[in-house]
Amino acid sequence: FAPWEDPDEKPLIRFQNVTKKFGDFTAIQSIDLDIYTREFFALLGPSGCGKTTLMRMLAGFETPTTGKILLGGEDIAATPPNKRPVNMMFQSYALFPHLSVWENVAFGLKREGREKDEIATRVADMMRLTRLDKFARRKPHQLSGGQRQRVALARSLAKAPKLLLLDEPLGALDKKLREETQFELMDIQEKTGTTFVIVTHDQEEAMTVASRVAVMDEGQLVQVSTPDRIYEYPNSVYVADFIGDVNIIEGAASQSGDKVLVTWAEGASPLVATSTAMLTKDQHCYLAIRPEKITITAEEPETTNKVHGEIIDIGYLGNISTYHVKLPTGHMVKAQSTNTRRLSRRNFTWEDKVWLSWSDTAAVLLER
Ligand code: ATP
């Protein structure tokens, strides 16, 4: 059992019908959410959707207008930020420029008046965990961006919080370093067993690091699930479109059940999609199909789900190419295929007439 599937597991954090208003503006609308111990949980959504507000309420920098936040079963509304077993790592890292790496990491422990020996051991552990041993005497300005990020992480973990909040922690790093650091974060999270909640607007980052992802829109949770479920079974056009690349074909469900036939264009044969929602006959719907689930062939294949059209654009990505195919109905469909030949002899080229096909289980049906 994953903790969120285990009925006996108690959540570390529980949002109970939480709403947050700033004046007339509702930033968070009636949210219910459980986060479990040892989870790496991601809050994902476009700018302004309320991710930071949700996180700031956990840290204690904002209080809910209505509703409750429980930590380990207890209402934390009255607990000030510094009394919560929670730490927050900011995007700017907020390191002390005049203190060495060692002193930055030791700062919180010293302020709590911990024993010298205890501090030395704890800081040494944190330095080892974040591979900073060699940089102990340096000042923040003598470090690279990635190293500074690790100092901030070591400092946030020094007091062994139950919950670490990370606000766009990798935002300042370039793409390659960012990807490396994602794996480092996952490794450190696992080693310490601390619950991590990360705020990000980068869907790849959320999908890479998180055990579960909450996709947000306008102050609400649209879908909360594991990365693979969110990718394979998005619950709305919004989520399908926000996570990865997708083709959305509008149509009408002409048959109910978990396999639905969708009429989508006059004279075209219906397409099959799987659905988890209950649909009425002729209900307006959207069929979502990921580009990499589409097979491109020159010959007509023997499958139910097929359309044909002309290649009008190609995006070359080295290992794969994305083909933009225009159908006679006017629809544009994106299909991806692995490049097996040299560029000069690519699988398909501009103006090729091709068939696009996919299996009955590859497309999912969505309501708006
Ligand atoms: P970003 O990725 O840009 O940081 P976000 O999803 O984290 O966005 P929030 O910072 O949570 O978004 O803000 C959500 C909404 O609440 C925004 O429309 C914002 O303008 C508003 N908001 C946040 N803090 C305040 C405040 N102190 N006073 C008034 N409005 C606020």
The residues that bridge with 198 in the sheet, in sequence order, are: 42, 166
- Ligand 1 center–CA 92 separation, angstroms: 17
Q: What is the pLDDT of residues 305-346, one digit of tens each?
A: 999 999 999 998 888 899 999 999 999 999 999 887 665 556
- Ligand 1 center–CA 48 separation, angstroms: 5
CA distances to 91, 111, 124, 162, 361 from 188, in Å: 18, 24, 15, 14, 37
Query: What's the farthest any 2 CA atoms get from each other in the chain?
Result: 80
Instruction: For ligand 1, pick from 49, 168, 197, 201 the residue to mutate: most ligand atoms within 8 Å of CB.
Output: 49
Closest among 226, 176, 216, 220 to 40, alpha carbons compared? 226
Query: Looking at residue 21, what is its pLDDT?
Result: 97
Residue 211 predicted with pLDDT over 80: yes
Average pLDDT over residues 206-216: 97
- In this predicted structure, which of 164-168, 213-217, 218-222, 264-268 has the lowest mean pLDDT? 264-268
Distance (Å, whole) CA 172 – CA 159: 25
Which residues have a Cβ under 8 Å from the Cβ of 137 and sit 6 or more positions away?
100, 101, 102
- Give yes or no for a contact between 51 and 26, defined as CB atoms under 8 angstroms apart: no
Mean predicted lDDT score pLDDT of the chain: 91
- Give yes or no for a contact between 75 and 68, defined as CB atoms under 8 angstroms apart: yes
DSSP assignment of 324-360 equals EEE-TTS-EEEEEEE--S-GGG-SS-TT-EEEEEE-T
Amino acid identity of residue 213, one-letter, is V
| Ligand 1 neighbour 201 (Cβ under 6 A) | yes
| Ligand 1 neighbour 48 (Cβ under 6 A) | yes
Which atom number of ligand 1 is nearest to the Cα of residue 50? 11
Which atom number of ligand 1 is nearest to the Cα of residue 22? 29
CA distances to 87, 93, 97, 152, 186 from 130, in Å: 17, 15, 19, 10, 12
Average pLDDT over residues 30-59: 96
| Ligand 1 neighbour 183 (Cβ under 6 A) | no
Average pLDDT over residues 348-365: 92
Instruction: For ligand 1, pick from 53, 58, 198, 220 the residue to mutate: most ligand atoms within 8 Å of CB.
Output: 53
Phi, psi for 213 (deg, rounded to 5):
-125, 135
3-state secondary structure string across 241-289: HHCCCCEEEEEEECCCCCEEEEECCCCCCCEEEECCCCCCCCEEEEEEE
Query: Looking at residue 315, what is its pLDDT?
Result: 92
Q: What is the pLDDT of residues 189-201, one digit of tens each?
A: 999 999 999 999 9
Sign of CA dihedral 70, 36, 155, 205: negative
Sign of CA dihedral 182, 188, 191, 196: negative
What's the order of all strands across the beta sheet hosting 86-89?
Answer: 86-89, 163-167, 195-200, 40-44, 212-217, 220-225
Residue 258 predicted with pLDDT over 80: no
Query: Looking at residue 260, what is its pLDDT?
Result: 84
Residue 103 predicted with pLDDT over 60: yes
Instruction: For ligand 1, pick from 21, 24, 44, 52 the residue to mutate: most ligand atoms within 8 Å of CB.
Output: 52
Q: How many C-beta atoms surround the C-beta of residue 77 within 10 A?
A: 13
Query: Looking at residue 368, what is its pLDDT?
Result: 65
- Complex confidence, ipTM: 0.96
What residue's CA is closest to ligand 1, atom 18?
48
| Ligand 1 neighbour 53 (Cβ under 6 A) | yes
Query: Looking at residue 276, what is its pLDDT?
Result: 67
| Ligand 1 neighbour 200 (Cβ under 6 A) | no
Average pLDDT over residues 61-87: 93
Query: Looking at residue 277, what is its pLDDT?
Result: 66
Average pLDDT over residues 72-101: 90
Phi, psi for 130 (deg, rounded to 5):
-105, 10
- Ligand 1 center–CA 153 separation, angstroms: 24
In the three-class reduction of DSSP (H, G, I as helix; E, B as strand; rest coil), residue 210 is classed as coil
Residue 279 predicted with pLDDT over 80: no
- In this predicted structure, which of 35-44, 75-84, 215-224, 276-285 has the lowest mean pLDDT? 276-285
In the three-class reduction of DSSP (H, G, I as helix; E, B as strand; rest coil), residue 26 is classed as strand
| Ligand 1 neighbour 24 (Cβ under 6 A) | no
Query: Looking at residue 259, what is its pLDDT?
Result: 80
Distance (Å, whole) CA 33 – CA 224: 9
Average pLDDT over residues 62-74: 95
Query: Looking at residue 198, what is its pLDDT?
Result: 97
Q: What is the pLDDT of residues 134-179, one digit of tens each?
A: 999 999 999 998 899 999 999 999 999 999 999 988 887 888 888 9
Residue 77 predicted with pLDDT over 60: yes
Distance (Å, whole) CA 136 – CA 4: 39
Which residues have a Cβ under 8 Å from the Cβ of 68 and sit 6 or more positions away?
14, 15, 16, 17, 18, 75, 77
- Give yes or no for a contact between 311 and 350, defined as CB atoms under 8 angstroms apart: yes
Residue 18 predicted with pLDDT over 80: yes
What residue's CA is closest to ligand 1, atom 7?
52
Residue 245 predicted with pLDDT over 70: yes
CA distances to 36, 52, 149, 243 from 185, in Å: 18, 20, 10, 21
